[in-house]
Structure 1
Amino acid sequence: MRPSARLLIVLLGSAILILALQLLASQDENFKNSLDFLIWVAMSILVVCVLIDAILTKKTPILSIERHLPEHFSVGKAHAITLSLVPPKKTKKPIKAILHDYYPPHWQVDQTALHVDVLPQRGLKTSYQATPLQRGDAIFGDIQYSTFSPLGLWENHRRIQAETTVKVLPDFSKILGANLLGMQKWLELMGAKRIRRHGQGQDFHQLRDYAEGDDVRNMDWKATSKMQKPIIRTYQEERDQQLIFLLDCGRNMRSMSGDLSHFDHALNAMLLLSYTALKHGDAVGLMTFNHPQMRYMPPHKGTNHLQRLINCVYDIEPTQMAADYETAINQLLQRQQRRALVIVLTQLDQENNEHLLAQLQRLKKRCAVLIASLKQTERSHIAQEPLQNLQNAHTYLGAQIYDMQEQQLLKQLSAQRVLHLNVTPQQMSTALINQYLELKRHGSW
């Protein structure tokens, strides 16, 4: 219990009034004696009121409060946090209170203090909007509320233990809200190409009558002879392939592009492609590298597996570690015995090209490989800025040298027939999905 702002104002006002009256009565001794008596009586009454109000404050009913949280939190999205307040059964008067919920640090909320009137027998539900600003685990602390004495001279503070840890996941409302968009329509909106698969290595689907335009190479001559009419064999995509992501969590992925780091752009692209591949019947797995605690998720099928993938990496942040492709590929080869398409999500580092190329050749002997590199967008801005001083010239020259080394590495990847993408972070999701569908069409792994 502590004095309220009202009590402090009353005391301050009384002190100022007494001082002013004392100054006015300083010339008249009789008036001064009468004034002193009146001040003594008034202050005695004030002290009695304050004490009685303090005693009544301790009898304020204790509220029961529960916090209700959404099932999922998505970074950057506002969520409603609901608080349920229940007064004791014997309460007869409404209870005025101010609520303070200890939400996670660095979250944005629309109001920090909730002023409520809790009705007897009915209670109250109130809510506020909270927006998480980063992925990972977040902690809601205790709930504190303040009630006031009948005269409002005292505040009574109580704290309710309600610590809760929640997961803040990437915002995938566009794909998890499958009721809004069909899969193919969603892919088209993302800019992915709608293509059919060609070539051999497909799974047999069914026999049907030949139609104009069908490839005669798919003619089933045995069935044609038996049915006395042209019969064609149709195929469907293989639904038993595996896709594994190698996700770089090193220092190069700390670069920013817009409001997100390169790592967050890579993470979003990985999960979007995972959803696409799972919808196509493929098994998807992942492994992180350049991270103190390597995360590994073996390939599994089914769209329900997407939630397991998200839970595996939702709290990872890029580290200060340098790229170590050799260790990553060693760990992957120990765990992955079956041929798969391995997508390395990284940012190419020109410091050790030979090391990277050698490790990719090792991986190519067992798996199909796709290097998906996020291009640094800052260099394009540097090339457009005027050279006004020596520092600008050094920055421009450094960017040009980096570009030349990057192009040389891309040429070496092409020469060694290593599939690669080198696009801006904003383009990565669409580019990856298109490349995956292209590989599916040609049966390239």
Structure 2
Amino acid sequence: MILPDKRLHLLLGLLLILAVIASLWPVWLSLWWLLVLIAMSLTIGDALLLLSPARISIARKLDTTLPLGRWQTVSLELQQQGYRPLHLRVFDHVPDSMKFDQLPLSMRLPPDRKQTLCYRIRPQRRGNFRFPKVQLHIRSPLHLWRRNHYCTIQSNCKVYPDFTGILNHGLPAAVNRLGLPGLRNQQRRGDGQDFHQLRDYRHGDTMRQIDWKTTSRLRKLISREYQEERNQQIIFLLDCSHRMASRDGELSHFDHSLDAIMRLAHIAGRQGDEVGITTFGGPGWSIPPAHGQQGFNRILEAVYDLQPGIAAPDYHHAAIQLLQRQKKRALVILLTSIQDQDNDELQQAVTLLDHKHLVVVASLLETPLHQGLDEPVTGFDQALYRAALNQFLLERQKSFDSLASRCTMLIDTPPAQLGTALVNSYFQIKRSGSL
């Protein structure tokens, strides 16, 4: 469809002004008609030139995997096989769940030459997405007309949790050297549960580490060096209910939980442990534990398009299902958002799991609620809100105190700090040898 452009509106406005002048001074009437004929000829000729088919080819260059919440560059390569330059405005149809920058783009495309345009996108939701087409506004040579031209170019991509920082961080056993915020170095080399090797005594070695038989034979102090147990299993029990859809900044509690899971899965795999995942409160499925990169990849492919549902969490059913699937003793990490009405059911579920497994419960704080404690009370309505908020937090704390005696470890943390808290807890449990 051909549409009038801005210049045509200006031309028509100018002719209208001249028509008023010619009506006041008839001597200019013949000149006005001449200008009208010239303008009509130019307008019709300009429109006919725009009607010629546009032979434009476009190629989109886009990574097939994108990290959630990070800006990425997309490039469009355009080429036309015409006889005259084209003036274009280019708009790529980006999926609704992605922010974009630098669109639409204006350009002059010479004939038989390739030109590349770039813009940026920022995915805000995980899953599979499709870029269906590119829309062009082609201007006529005199910029009196324009028409839309659509090029169907389908590109598919997957948006994963942002694990780029996870892979760059390496092992928290060297956290002091890497400078990762919040992580604590829980172990000094030589401590652990599994015997690794004999070596010369070093200052700081404990009496437990000294091998007295070898020391007597060699007549010098020899220490045993231990390493943490390997081939242990870690199961993430992930809440997919409606309450995990609560947002903390740009990400939901569910997204923060997935980021924390992927960080710990990567680290545990590098430590020689097996990682798996089971979901509840939504689509209920299970990925059995696997070693190293295989376990990490299986979890990543399973959860990258997973979204929280609308059901309520059923902790008791989730515990029974996990006990039926998981026969070997494992570290079970339950990720959820605890509310005071969950107390009885959650305690029963944790008690069931604790008979056979080591249970860590990680709950995400509702950050806006705690921020409300810092707001000034300036009226009666604010006072009522503050009183209700304090009562809610008091009941929540009672639930936590009661639950703390039922599980090995209870984590209550803001969503953005969940990954760090889980890693610290993992190394603390590994060092204790309780698994």
Give me the TM-score of the superposition, normalised by structure 1. Answer: 0.86
CA distance in 1, matches of 2:20, 2:375: 68
**In the TM superposition, what whole-angstrom CA distance separates every residue of 1:374-410 from its partner, at most 9, and x where no partner exists?**
2233443444445554443433333233233223222
C-alpha spacing 1:248/1:153, structure 2 compared with 1 (3 Å):
same
Match of 2:146 among 152, 155, 158: 155
Query: 1:27-426, aligned counterparts within 5 Å?
Result: 31=27, 35=29, 37-59=30-52, 61-88=54-81, 91-177=82-168, 184-185=175-176, 188-196=179-187, 202-211=193-202, 213-220=204-211, 231-291=222-282, 293-303=283-293, 305-426=295-416
Match of 1:11 in 2: 12
**Contact 2:361/2:407 (<8 A) preserved:** no
CA distance in 1, matches of 2:342, 2:145: 69
Q: RMSD of the alignment, in Å?
A: 3.1
CA distance in 2, matches of 1:20, 1:180: 82
**In the TM superposition, what whole-angstrom CA distance separates every residue of 1:270-325 from its partner, at most 9, and x where no partner exists?**
2222222222221111222212x234322222246434423322333333322210
**Contact 1:67/1:162 (<8 A) preserved:** yes
**Contact 2:90/2:104 (<8 A) preserved:** yes
**In the TM superposition, what whole-angstrom CA distance separates every residue of 1:106-127 from its partner, at most 9, and x where no partner exists?**
5333322211122333311111
Identity of aligned residues (%): 36
CA distance in 1, matches of 2:11, 2:40: 11
C-alpha spacing 1:323/1:151, structure 2 compared with 1 (3 Å):
same
Match of 1:28 in 2: none
- Of residues 264-273 and 384-393 in structure 1, the stretch that sits farther from structure 2 once superposed is 384-393
- Of residues 206-215 and 110-119 in structure 1, the stretch that sits farther from structure 2 once superposed is 206-215
CA distance in 2, matches of 1:180, 1:288: 26
C-alpha spacing 1:41/1:198, structure 2 compared with 1 (3 Å):
closer
Counterpart AA for 1:7: L
Deviation, structure 1 residue 235: 1.9
Counterpart AA for 1:302: G
CA distance in 2, matches of 1:231, 1:332: 45
CA distance in 1, matches of 2:25, 2:373: 78
Give me the TM-score of the superposition, normalised by structure 2. Answer: 0.88
Deviation, structure 1 residue 368: 0.7
Indicate the SS of the match to 2:429. helix
Bigger proportion of residues as strand: 2
Counterpart AA for 1:432: L
**Contact 1:142/1:159 (<8 A) preserved:** yes
**Contact 2:236/2:278 (<8 A) preserved:** yes
C-alpha spacing 1:307/1:118, structure 2 compared with 1 (3 Å):
farther
**In the TM superposition, what whole-angstrom CA distance separates every residue of 1:70-106 from its partner, at most 9, and x where no partner exists?**
3432233221110001222xx4543322211111225
**In the TM superposition, what whole-angstrom CA distance separates every residue of 1:202-242 from its partner, at most 9, and x where no partner exists?**
33322334445544444556656766665443221112011
Counterpart AA for 1:121: D
CA distance in 2, matches of 1:299, 1:65: 45
- Of residues 194-203 and 363-372 in structure 1, the stretch that sits farther from structure 2 once superposed is 194-203
C-alpha spacing 1:145/1:342, structure 2 compared with 1 (3 Å):
same
Counterpart AA for 2:157: V
Counterpart AA for 1:17: L
Indicate the SS of the match to 1:162. strand
CA distance in 2, matches of 1:212, 1:418: 33
Aligned pairs, number: 434
**Contact 1:204/1:234 (<8 A) preserved:** yes
C-alpha spacing 1:392/1:186, structure 2 compared with 1 (3 Å):
farther
Choose 1 or 2 for highest CA Rg: 1
C-alpha spacing 1:238/1:418, structure 2 compared with 1 (3 Å):
closer
CA distance in 2, matches of 1:279, 1:411: 34
Match of 1:433 in 2: 423
Indicate the SS of the match to 2:345. helix
Deviation, structure 1 residue 430: 2.1
- Of residues 329-338 and 42-51 in structure 1, the stretch that sits farther from structure 2 once superposed is 42-51
Counterpart AA for 2:335: L
CA distance in 1, matches of 2:374, 2:112: 69
CA distance in 2, matches of 1:434, 1:406: 24
**Contact 2:172/2:185 (<8 A) preserved:** no
Gapped runs of 5+ residues in structure 1?
Answer: 26-30
**Contact 1:188/1:194 (<8 A) preserved:** no
C-alpha spacing 1:286/1:180, structure 2 compared with 1 (3 Å):
closer
